[in-house]
Amino acid sequence: RLVSSLDPVTSRMKMMRKALLLLLACVLSSVLAKGKVEELTPQNFKSTVLDSDATWAVSFYAPWCGHCKALAPEWEKLAKAISPTVRVGSVDADKHKDLGGKYGVQGFPTIKIFGKDKSKPEAYQGERTATAIAKHLLLHVTDAVNSALGGGKPK
């Protein structure tokens, strides 16, 4: 009887231990992070993004695009603020048209979020500022943490 009354406590302690380990991993990785935008190409996209457990924010851009040039400093700011919790990359989709085409890129810049299901990236349509994009990305991180803890999406 005594053991069965401790089961909820033991279960809660295990969940807390997992949460603390996840938090520790995030803190350690943030200390070690470079915090820069990673240049992605057809040669490294699969191994870097698709085979990764991390959530990725990827900007498909063209070097001549005015909106892309305006996004660039915000994208750099985002990478410094949110890496490695979320990794941030860019694809020159003008140069690598096949890679952009594979993900339905029709205009520049196109931002895609590669979350848990890498085969179904989400098109980000929000404001093009580091703060707005980071807020959106943190929702993905929260969902992933809740899922890892067995809690599903928060209500």
Residue type, 38: E
Active site residue 67: yes
How many Cβ atoms are within 10 Å of 89's Cβ, its own excluded? 23
Active site residue 136: no
The answer to whether the CB of 71 falls within 8 A of the CB of 109 is: yes
Catalytic residue among 26, 65, 96, 126: 65
Active site residue 65: yes
Catalytic residue among 35, 67, 100, 101: 67
Residue type, 85: T
Q: Are β-strands 55-61 and 38-40 bridged in parallel, bridged antiparallel, or unpaired?
A: unpaired
Residue whose structure tokens are 């005015």: 66
Instruction: Please compute Rg for the chain using Cα positions.
Output: 18
Catalytic residue among 68, 96, 100, 115: 68
Active site residue 66: yes
Please list the active-site residues: 65-68
